[in-house]
């Protein structure tokens, strides 16, 4: 709805007020004349009285005939001046029988003081003073002249004081009115601007290829674009349900329902926010993969007014990634069969009596097959790990790390890289799947050695932190930029530095390590600076209950 920026009318209507004022003054003057004529005493001058009556008639005709709506407000000064002149005429001829007639002067004087500005108020006060002098010119000789002079002087002083006080108050009122009108206009402008901004935001929200939902903190208002409404129907969210949780929301396995209190919108309203969480919504067999992010809506003063949910349908992307992973696993498996045959035939050739050249060729072929087999194992490892269920047993993590360091020392020594491990006889029992844990440590160590410069050093330490075992692996090699660090755990991601230096690998090591850590209820963090090395921190819960709970979440 459009906002009309029209200021409210704070002033009394100009034309109507003048006509009412003239009518009131005329009635008062007629009553005074009638009462005076009815009072026994000296008769007034007919000429003066007739002049006053004629002036009243002319004043009324002018008041009701002139188009005051189109005339400036200052022209009403002449109406007040005419009223003042009539008052002086009446006072000069009727003073002997009615001493209260000068009080009629209060009407025009106070009216001008209230309606117009200081110059007009001073002018009407001066006109009143001239009228008091004129009173002596038209009045007959009167008894007790000194007392009358004092009364008229006091009257003039009182009326002048009231006029000045009225003008001061009116001036303050006009200033307040101007401020109020300006504030009202500013409010209307702000309201119009807010409505325009709201219209733009609605257009943007409905135009983006994402579901956008906003809920006020007190749940008094909501907004959902068309895609959010469709998503709500898929999730089974009922508008009447105060929790705004759906009954068709499942975890990454597409089977386990997510309880209402753990769904993103209820969590967001309680201040728990997330980025890029994967949820499957809809009935089994017709589910959609949804990437959901939630964030608080906060004012400039830091007050949270609600929560915003943004969701993208990434079903096609997830299916494409799964197809790519399935293709990679299938190709790797299919290549293993002929590779096994090649290894067998090469072993048979080794038993034959070959000359020196033949044995050299055989050795090179075996090295190539060994390298190809290792690469296929590396390519298949993430898929094997993803399908494995950890078999927990309490294992000495310090001893496990030392053994993996010893395993990698010979390989690191070929590039003059020193591996420094945890010192002392310390032991730390942690619930682990031994095989998976060794793969995890190997993946992180391999990455540290690969990106270390010749003559460098890799430091490994084991300690505890907040109910978790922590393995810290620090290299002083190439390091990564912030953007490279952000993508480091993505499958098949290879940093530009690794590509430029032709470092071997498929970009699966850290992704595999993170998958194993999460299967144990833990995580891996990277801190890196380009040219200054990388710190990888592996954290695993110290209790099997904690590992199982965190792993399932």
- Please write the tens of the pLDDT for every residue from 402-441: 998 888 888 888 888 888 888 765 788 888 888 889 989 9
For the stretch 454-499, pLDDT in tens is 888 888 999 888 888 999 999 888 888 888 888 888 777 777 766 6
Predicted structure pTM score:
0.44
pLDDT of 57 higher than 60:
yes
β-pairing, 304-313 vs 418-420, is unpaired
**Which element (helix H / strand E) includes 535?**
strand 533-541
Q: Does domain 211-313 have CATH number 3.30.450.20?
A: yes
For the stretch 68-126, pLDDT in tens is 777 777 777 888 788 877 877 777 666 666 666 777 788 788 777 877 788 888 888 88
- For residues 248 and 283, the answer to whether their CB atoms sit within 8 Å is yes
Report the alpha-carbon distance of residue 504 to residue 520 in Å, rounded. 28
Report the alpha-carbon distance of residue 247 to residue 373 in Å, rounded. 47
Q: What is the percentage of the chain residues whose pLDDT exceeds 90?
A: 2
pLDDT of 333 higher than 70:
no
Q: Rounded to the nearest 10 degrees, what angle do helices 356-386 and 509-519 cross at?
A: 40
Residue 94, classed as helix, strand or coil, is helix
- For residues 265 and 215, the answer to whether their CB atoms sit within 8 Å is yes
Q: Please report the sign of the dihedral spanned by the C-alpha atoms of residue 363, residue 369, residue 373, residue 378.
A: positive
Which backbone phi and psi does 7 adopt, to 5 degrees? -70, 145
| Residues ≥6 apart with Cβ < 8 Å to 4 | none
pLDDT of 351 higher than 80:
no
Name the residue ranges covered by the structural domains of the chain. Answer: 14-183, 211-313, 319-386, 393-552
Report the alpha-carbon distance of residue 188 to residue 144 in Å, rounded. 64
Q: What share of the chain is helix, strand, coil (3-state, %, to 5)?
A: 60, 15, 25
The CATH number of 393-552 is 3.30.565.10
Report the alpha-carbon distance of residue 238 to residue 204 in Å, rounded. 25
- Report the half-sphere exposure of 317 (CA within 13 A, side-chain side): 7
- Give the single-character DSSP code of 257: B
Which backbone phi and psi does 396 adopt, to 5 degrees? -75, 105
Report the alpha-carbon distance of residue 518 to residue 107 in Å, rounded. 91
Q: Please report the sign of the dihedral spanned by the C-alpha atoms of residue 427, residue 429, residue 435, residue 441.
A: negative
Q: What's the chain's average pLDDT?
A: 77
Which comes out higher in pLDDT, residue 14 or 340? Answer: 340
Residue with tokens 């009182």: 158
Copy the structure tokens of residue 363: 């050795």
Copy the structure tokens of residue 361: 């060729």
- Taking CA atoms, 330 is separated from 343, 383, 508, in Å, by 20, 10, 17
- For residues 48 and 93, the answer to whether their CB atoms sit within 8 Å is yes
For the stretch 203-254, pLDDT in tens is 777 777 778 888 787 767 777 788 777 777 777 776 566 666 777 888 777 7
Report the pLDDT value the prediction gives residue 3, as an integer from 0 to 100. 44
- Taking CA atoms, 497 is separated from 74, 122, 294, 429, 500, in Å, by 83, 88, 34, 38, 5
- Taking CA atoms, 351 is separated from 346, 358, 361, 365, 367, in Å, by 9, 12, 14, 15, 17
Indicate the length of the chain as a whole number.
553
Q: Give counts: helices (H), strands (E), the chain.
A: 16, 13
Which comes out higher in pLDDT, residue 22 or 353? Answer: 22
Report the pLDDT value the prediction gives residue 471, as an integer from 0 to 100. 92
Copy the structure tokens of residue 140: 């007959």
- For residues 191 and 3, the answer to whether their CB atoms sit within 8 Å is yes
Q: Which of 24, 120, 25, 113 is nearest to 75 (CA)?
A: 120
Strands in 284-421 per DSSP E: 288-298, 304-313, 393-396, 418-420
Neighbour count for residue 284 (Cβ, 10 Å): 10
pLDDT of 505 higher than 80:
no
């Amino acid at each position: 709805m459009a906002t009309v920026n029209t200021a409210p009318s704070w002033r009394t209507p100009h034309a109507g007020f003048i006509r009412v004022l003239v009518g009131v003054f005329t009635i008062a003057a007629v009553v005074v004349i009638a009462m005076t004529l009815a009072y026994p005493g000296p008769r007034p001058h007919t000429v003066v009285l007739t002049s006053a009556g004629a002036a009243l008639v002319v004043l009324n005709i002018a008041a009701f005939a002139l188009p005051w709506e189109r005339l400036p407000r200052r022209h009403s000064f002449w109406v007040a001046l005419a009223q003042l002149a009539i008052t002086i005429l009446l006072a000069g001829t009727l003073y002997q029988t009615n001493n209260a007639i000068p009080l009629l002067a209060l009407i025009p004087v106070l009216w001008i003081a209230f309606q117009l500005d200081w110059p007009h108020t001073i002018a009407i006060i001066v006109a009143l003073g001239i009228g008091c002098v004129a009173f002596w010119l038209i009045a007959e000789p009167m008894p007790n002249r000194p007392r009358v002079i004092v009364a008229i002087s006091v009257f003039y002083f009182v009326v002048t004081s009231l006029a000045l006080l009225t003008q001061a108050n009116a001036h303050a009122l006009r200033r307040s009115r101007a401020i109020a009108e300006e504030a009202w206009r500013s409010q209307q402008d702000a309201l119009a601007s807010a409505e325009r901004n709201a219209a733009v935001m609605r257009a943007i929200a409905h135009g983006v290829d994402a579901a956008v939902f906003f809920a006020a903190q007190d749940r008094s208002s909501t907004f959902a674009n068309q895609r959010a409404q469709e998503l709500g129907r898929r999730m089974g969210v009922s508008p009447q349900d105060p929790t705004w949780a759906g009954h068709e929301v499942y975890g990454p396995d597409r089977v386990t329902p997510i309880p209402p209190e753990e769904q993103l919108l209820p969590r967001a309203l309680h201040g728990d926010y997330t980025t890029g969480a994967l949820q499957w919504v809809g009935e089994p067999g017709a589910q959609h993969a949804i990437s959901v992010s939630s964030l608080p809506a906060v004012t400039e003063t830091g007050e949270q007014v609600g929560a915003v949910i943004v969701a993208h349908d990434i079903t096609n992307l997830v299916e494409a990634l799964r197809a790519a992973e399935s293709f990679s696993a299938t190709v790797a498996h299919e290549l293993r069969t002929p590779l096994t045959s090649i290894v067998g035939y090469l072993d048979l050739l080794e038993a034959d009596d070959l000359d020196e050249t033949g044995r050299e060729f055989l050795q090179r072929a075996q090295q190539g097959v060994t390298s190809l087999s290792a690469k296929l194992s590396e390519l298949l490892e993430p898929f094997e790990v993803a399908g494995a269920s950890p078999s927990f047993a309490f294992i000495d993590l310090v001893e496990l790390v030392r053994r993996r360091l010893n395993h990698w020392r010979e390989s690191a020594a070929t590039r003059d890289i020193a591996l420094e491990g945890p010192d002392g006889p310390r032991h730390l029992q942690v619930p682990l799947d031994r095989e998976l844990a060794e793969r995890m440590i190997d993946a992180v160590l391999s990455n540290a050695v690969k990106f270390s410069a010749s003559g460098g050093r890799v430091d490994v330490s084991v300690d505890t932190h907040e109910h978790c075992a922590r393995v810290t692996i620090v290299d002083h090699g190439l390091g990564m930029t912030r953007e490279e660090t952000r993508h480091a755990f993505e499958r098949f991601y290879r940093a530009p530095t690794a590509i430029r230096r032709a470092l071997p690998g498929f970009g699966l090591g850290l992704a595999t390590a993170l998958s194993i850590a999460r299967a144990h209820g833990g995580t891996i963090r990277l801190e890196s600076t380009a040219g200054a090395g990388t710190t990888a921190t592996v954290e695993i819960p110290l209790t099997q209950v904690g590992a199982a709970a965190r792993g399932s979440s």
